Amino acid sequence: MSNSSKSKNKKPVILTGDRPTGPLHLGHYVGSLLNRVSMQETHEQFILVADLQALTDNAENPEKVSSNVLEVVTDYLAVGIDPKKTSIVLQSQVPDIALLSMILSNLVSVSRVERNPTVKEELRQKGIDREIPLGFFSYPVSQAADITAFKATVVPVGQDQLPMIEITNEIVRRFNRIYNCNVLMEAEAVVPKVGRLPGIDGKAKMSKSLGNAINLKSSSKEIENAVKQMFTDPGHLRITDPGKVEGNVVFDYLDVFDAEKDVLKELKAQYKKGGLGDTTIKKRLNGILQDLISPIREERTRLENDKAEVIKVIEAGTRKANEVVSETLQEVRSAMGINYGSNWSKYKRHE
């Protein structure tokens, strides 16, 4: 990038990403996608399809990762992420990120990674402790490389990823101190306001692995069935019984998706008092979700029939990423004094 194009580009840089291991769902929609659609207006945004990171715990089924790359990017485009404003980047096609990751891995200790709460929790869930792949263990470092390679200063992430940003900033400070430079930038985590959408079963998190998600590519029938199955208030047996609104998934969703807040307030009051059936509120929610998802599904179908367009978007975003990242790597090499190619004579030993 030339200096003139650099000075034109004053917007703060966002780097965010997803592991492509399955289709995106409503939890992603409210937790990150909507935020990305609005942030692309005010920021220089890069979204990383983190296929290498996804391989850290899927090495034995790489096709689970590779077959979901187009899937996830199709979801991005269908919800309104605009490739003219956002660069969609395929991680494995930007090799300099991996190089930076290797350099940064020397700046963080094993015990520091072990103390990372995100890693700790993931280890606990996987229950495989020290048998985890080394690459999985060190993914906080590779994520630090993702962020710093783009000189991102804003990183929108879920609450559970906050320790990742913390460790990134520690590495940044360490790098800049040791190599006496200002090459890497500290980043600020931004947690979107809308909290987590529970799964349809009432579990705290909507997740494809728990099988409690509504996908953006769900058919109309699938949405209807999911709403039918939604957890409500098990004590609300007859319509006339008073019902609980808290912990009632249908109301949790209406809180997020129902634009008519006055009507919703009224419905809640009625439900609590007794006299409002689950079928009525489910019907309302179903209508709202159908209206929300149907244009997304339509755009998805169009894109599925034009895969070449989706591929072009990935290629263009990845090309741009390679330009930006290779600049950072030049600076990193200079700061460390390992930019051999540019001036070999510097490295001659003086007798």
How far apart are CB 16 and ligand TRP at their closest, in Å?
Answer: 5
As a whole number of angstroms, the distance between CA 305 and CA 302 comes to 5
Among 13, 14, 18, 276, binds ligand TRP (CB under 6 A): 18
As a whole number of angstroms, the distance between CA 40 and CA 294 comes to 23
- Decide: is 100 part of the binding site for ligand TRP (CB under 6 A): no
Within 254-273, the residues that bind ligand TRP by CB under 6 A are none
As a whole number of angstroms, the distance between CA 83 and CA 96 comes to 22
As a whole number of angstroms, the distance between CA 69 and CA 311 comes to 10
How far apart are CB 156 and ligand TRP at their closest, in Å?
Answer: 8
How far apart are CB 96 and ligand TRP at their closest, in Å?
Answer: 15
As a whole number of angstroms, the distance between CA 344 and CA 125 comes to 50
How far apart are CB 326 and ligand TRP at their closest, in Å?
Answer: 18
> Which helix (H) or strand (E) covers residue 71, if one does?
helix 69-79
Cβ distance to ligand TRP smaller for residue 73 or 245: 73
Cβ distance to ligand TRP smaller for residue 17 or 243: 17
- Decide: is 17 part of the binding site for ligand TRP (CB under 6 A): yes
- Decide: is 19 part of the binding site for ligand TRP (CB under 6 A): yes
> Which helix (H) or strand (E) covers residue 76, if one does?
helix 69-79
Query: Strand pairing of 13-18 and 188-190?
Result: unpaired
- Decide: is 155 part of the binding site for ligand TRP (CB under 6 A): yes
Question: In the numeric block, which tokens belong to residue 284?
Answer: 């309302």
Question: In the numeric block, which tokens belong to residue 214?
Answer: 């509504």
Cβ distance to ligand TRP smaller for residue 161 or 207: 161
How many residues does this entry show for the chain? 351
Amino acid sitting at position 55:
L
How far apart are CB 142 and ligand TRP at their closest, in Å?
Answer: 8
- Decide: is 223 part of the binding site for ligand TRP (CB under 6 A): no
- Decide: is 157 part of the binding site for ligand TRP (CB under 6 A): yes
Within 28-87, the residues that bind ligand TRP by CB under 6 A are 48, 50, 53
Cβ distance to ligand TRP smaller for residue 161 or 280: 161
Q: Residues binding ligand TRP: what is the number (CB under 6 A)?
A: 14
Question: Angle at the Cα of 267 (from 265 to 272), degrees rounded to 5?
Answer: 100
**108: which residues sit within 8 A by CB, 6+ positions away?**
140, 141, 144, 167, 170, 171, 174
Question: Is residue 307 within 8 Å of residue 70, measured between CB atoms?
Answer: yes
As a whole number of angstroms, the distance between CA 40 and CA 333 comes to 31
Within 108-147, the residues that bind ligand TRP by CB under 6 A are 143, 146-147
Percentages helix, strand, coil for the chain (3-state, rounded to 5) are 60, 5, 35
How far apart are CB 104 and ligand TRP at their closest, in Å?
Answer: 13
How far apart are CB 15 and ligand TRP at their closest, in Å?
Answer: 5
Cβ distance to ligand TRP smaller for residue 143 or 248: 143
The contact pattern for ligand TRP, residues 159-198, with x = CB under 6 A and - = no contact, is --x-------------------------------------
Among 13, 14, 16, 285, binds ligand TRP (CB under 6 A): 16
Question: Is residue 27 within 8 Å of residue 207, measured between CB atoms?
Answer: yes
Query: CB under 6 A: which stretch of 37-45, 60-68, 155-163, 213-221 binds ligand TRP?
Result: 155-163
- Decide: is 149 part of the binding site for ligand TRP (CB under 6 A): no
Question: Is residue 26 within 8 Å of residue 218, measured between CB atoms?
Answer: no
> Which helix (H) or strand (E) covers residue 282, if one does?
helix 278-304
How far apart are CB 23 and ligand TRP at their closest, in Å?
Answer: 14
Binding site for ligand TRP (CB under 6 A): 15-19, 48, 50, 53, 143, 146-147, 155, 157, 161
